[in-house]
Amino acid sequence: MKKSIVLPLLLMIATTASSQNLKTMNWLNEPASWQVSEDKLEMFVTPQSDYWRETHYGFTVDDGPFYYTTRGGEFEANLKITGEYTTRFDQMGMMLRVDEEHWIKTGIEYVDGQYNFSTVVTDTKSSWSVIQLSEQPASVWIKVIRRLDAVEIFYSLDGKNYTMSNLSYLKNNVPVKVGMMAASPDGEGFKAIFEDFSIKHLPDMKRLEWLERNKE
C-alpha cells in the first residue's frame, strides 16, 4: 500500500464510533444500587459523595461513583444523561481521569435551584466553571474530544446541536479512565440514568502529520 493513501484510509477508519459494552466496565466507588441493561446504566447516586481537590473549600474528596473503561491515545466520547436532581450540588456526567490528582468531570450540576452545565478541571487542584441553563433540561448530551494534551467539551440539549463549553488541559501520552460519574455532596442521593455511551478512536495527530510529511 502506498503511503499516499494511508492518511485518507486512517481518517476514514476514525469516523467509525463504537458503542461501549457497559458490562465489561469497572467501578471506582461502586454505589449500593445500580443496574446495566443494553446501552443504559441506572444508579442511585451515593449520598454525601463528591470529587474535588482543595481549591477554595480546603478539602479533598474522591468518593463519587465512577463507571469507566480505560483508553490510550486520542478519542471522542459521547453520552446522554438524565437525572432527578433534588439537592444543591447534585451532579452527573462524564469523567476523564488519569489519577486522583489529574481529572476532568463535566455534566449537569444543580446549584441553588439553577441547572448548570458544569466542568471541573483538576491538575493537582480543582477549578470549576459553569454555564447556566435557562430551564431544567429533560436530558443532556455530552461530547468530549481528547487530542494531544487538550480536551474539548461540548453539550447539547437536543442531541443534534452542540455548544462548546471548555477547552482544558489533560496529560498527554498516558492512558485515561473515561466513563460515567455522579455525586451528591450535600444530599441523600438521586436517580441517575446514563445512555448511549460510545467511544470513537482518533488517529494520533502527530503521527498523521508525520505520515503526511513522509508520504511517497
| Average per-residue pLDDT for the chain | 92
At residue 70, the 3 state secondary structure works out as: strand
Residues across the chain? 216
CB 98 within 8 A of CB 171: yes
pLDDT in tens, 7-60: 444 444 444 556 789 999 999 999 999 999 989 999 999 999 999 999 999 999
Helices (H) and strands (E) in the chain, counts: 2, 17
CB 73 within 8 A of CB 133: no
> Residue 83: what residue type?
G
Does 108 score more than 80 pLDDT? yes
Mean local confidence (pLDDT), 128-136: 96
Does 204 score more than 50 pLDDT? yes
Return the CATH number of 25-202, one of 3.30.70.1400, 2.60.120.200, 3.40.50.1110, 1.10.443.10. 2.60.120.200
Give one word for 24, left, alpha or beta, with left for phi > 0 and alpha for psi -120 to 50: alpha
Q: Give the range among 38-47, 138-147, 201-210 with minimum mean pLDDT.
A: 201-210
**Domain boundaries of the chain, sorted by first residue:** 25-202
Mean local confidence (pLDDT), 71-76: 96
Does 2 score more than 70 pLDDT? no
